[in-house]
Amino acid sequence: MMRSSLTVAVVLALAALCGCASSPKSDFYTLSSAAPQTGNPPAAPIAVLISSVTVPELVDRPQIVVRNGDNTVNIDEFARWADPLKSQIPRVVRADLGQLLNSALVSTYPMGGDLASAYRVQLDIQRFDAALGDAVTVDVLWSVAPPGKKPPLSGRSTVHEPCGAAGYDAVVAAYSRALGTVSRDIATTIRPASP
């Protein structure tokens, strides 16, 4: 009787260990800058501060969320963002704007100096959707407050970017390209307004 109890306990322990060993590993993803550097630097350096970014609660989580239809989503426990989107999106837009405006003075954090001389950018992400193997949609309301007491300039960028392949790598790359397009729209607004 004692021997059969011990055998059952060992078999259960081995089954538990095998179950743990076979769980899939998580993959972690980051967005990247997609904007190429433009020509010559401006005569006067353009300072830009990305002051705030809001993200829809549906995607404000570690897991990557993809749409399965109009009313259903898949929250994948094994495809995760390496950093929160609230920190990745401003970092990528900062890098894109730095390239597009050919300026090293683009920041997500107020650095010393005269903040009144910086363009202040706010992003309100309305939609950050993906369909695996299809496309991503990024819809952003943005505003650019020029230096001084000039009124803010506002815009909306709605980007539908094909993934080009199946899988999460393609989704994340498409998100990066879509944010590059949003950054181009913002840079186009800043450039004519700059002195």
Neighbours of 93 (CB within 10 A): 28
- Distance (Å, rounded) from C-alpha 49 to C-alpha 60? 22
Give the separation between CA 56 and CA 58, rounded to whole angstroms: 5
pLDDT in tens, 104-125: 999 998 766 666 789 999 999 9
* Cβ–Cβ under 8 Å, residues 56 and 127: yes
Looking at residue 44, its pLDDT comes to 75
Q: CA distances (Å), 195 to each of 67, 117, 144, in order?
A: 44, 11, 15
**Domain limits of the chain?**
45-193
The pLDDT of residue 74 is above 70: yes
Cα–Cα distance list, 131 to 58, 62, 163, 169 (Å)? 15, 18, 9, 12
**DSSP H or E segment with residue 64:** strand 63-67
Evaluate whether 116 touches 147 at the Cβ level (below 8 Å): yes
Domain 45-193 has CATH 3.40.50.10610: yes
Q: Look up residue 128 and give its two tokens.
A: 């950050």
> Span 141-149, mean pLDDT?
93
What confidence tier does 39 reach under pLDDT thresholds 50, 70, 90?
low
User: Whole-number mean pLDDT of the chain?
Assistant: 88
